[in-house]
Amino acid sequence: MLDLIEKLFPICRSITGDGVRETLAIINEVIPVEVSEIPTGTRVFDWEVPREWNVREAYIENSAGERIVDFEDHNLHLMSYSAPIRRQMRLNELKEHLHSLPGHPKLIPYRTSYYDDNWGFCLSHDQLEALEDDTYNVVIDATLEPGHLTYGECLIPGASDEEILVSTHICHPSLCNDNLSGIAVTSHLAKQLLQQENRYSYRFLFVPVTIGAISWLASNEERLDRIRYGLVASNLGNDAKFTYKKTRTGSSSIDHAVMYALETAGVEHEIRGFLPYGYDERQYGSPGIGLDVGSLSRTPYGEYPEYHTSADNLSLVSEEKLEEALSVYARVFETLEDARYFLNRAPKGEPQLGRRGLYKRIGGQTNQAEQQMAILWLLNKSDGQHNLLDIARLSGMSEDILSAAAKLLVEQELLETL
């Protein structure tokens, strides 16, 4: 995963443009990615697909001809979606277009100007303070013209047409935790799921934030009823505890599955309620869409000092933390895969277990009392309304023990798999 992040790190991405295409082509080396291109001007719900932005070069040159700020050195130096310009100006005029972080004077901030015509450069506050009164030559050789918005998806068909959505954003330039960690974990998660048999189908989306998710939703509206649950993945590579932000209803099976997976994985975590702010869970959970999509990250959006600065670089993320996040995600989906619904076929009174040799068979197991309780919980709650995960929550027993007991009960025709 770290190799993939290193490969993707230098690319200048934005909500449109060749950086997104190049990124999807690199993800396609890990998993098959189907790429869609939505033309500029396409109406997508209340939005319109913007013009496409591509940059050849951008720099600020002093009167001695030295490039003092150069996009070539760091792509954060150029405000994303800056309009083209080639003009000389004095420092006081230039300063209106310079962005820095006085509180973190060594870092370059990440700034965007997606939906209004503007231009700007970002630099460390130390460098800004050191600028002399001079005539500067400002060059942004970029195009902002009709083109396309690009996104990618990877569908992994399972036994059922019902889908689990995993969405991550692909629109940030050289930023590691906010953006690339999500790409690394989700593409490797998809690679794992491709190598195994799954009950659910899984759809992985690689979309520019907001407008990409809205474009995908608008293009797939008639197919959304197939989506049962979803997660938005981001900020997964830094050294911090996990944070789960629940779905809009807060009571979906995906909420229960994530909480169960975090608890059984024994990792430090925090659970938060839904908030209509953050990443694309806002779009998936908008009232007219209403998908059960939560957000599983480490430190959330905007809550770490390196966020949206040049300090969100390769030193902030580690293979160990990415691997841990990958295993938590895999555990969430295992939990959902195991969360089957069963129906008790002898629901009037308790069925006579001894006659069926169930006690005897249970006696051979390591924990007889626990297995017996698992059988009783399964028989009582398998009314078609509670899945295995619900029964795990109600009983406090693990899904593994309940799963093993359910297998015995299905063999004895006391439970039917729905």
**Measured distance CA(135)–CA(133) in Å, rounded:** 7
Closest Cα partner for 236 from 121, 353, 140, 316? Answer: 316
SS3 386: strand
Binding positions for Zn ion, rule: CB under 5 A = 178
Q: Are 71 and 55 in contact (CB under 8 A)?
A: yes
Q: Which is nearer to Zn ion, 115 or 400 (CB)?
A: 115
Nearer to Zn ion, 211 or 227 (CB): 211
Cα distances from 244 to residues 84, 232, 294, 349, 386, in angstroms, run: 40, 10, 7, 40, 23
Min separation Cβ 267 and Zn ion, Å: 24
Q: Which is nearer to Zn ion, 111 or 331 (CB)?
A: 111
Q: Which is nearer to Zn ion, 100 or 234 (CB)?
A: 234
Toward Zn ion, which CB reaches closer, 294 or 300?
300
Of residues 198 and 309, the one with the C-beta less far from Zn ion: 309
Distance CA 228, CA 387 (A): 14
| Minimum CB–partner distance for residue 279 and Zn ion (Å) | 8
Which residue's CB is nearer to Zn ion, number 163 or number 178? 178
CB–CB of 99/109 below 8 Å?
yes
Shortest Å, Cβ 304 to Zn ion? 11
Spatial distance between the Cα atoms of 80 and 260, rounded to a whole number of angstroms:
39
Q: How many helices (H) and strands (E) does the chain have?
A: 13, 19
* DSSP H or E run through 86: strand 85-90
Which residue's CB comes closest to Zn ion?
178
Which residues are bridge partners to 122 per DSSP? Answer: 99
CA torsion 125-129-131-133 (nearest 10°) is: 140
**Residue 171 in tokens:** 């629109």
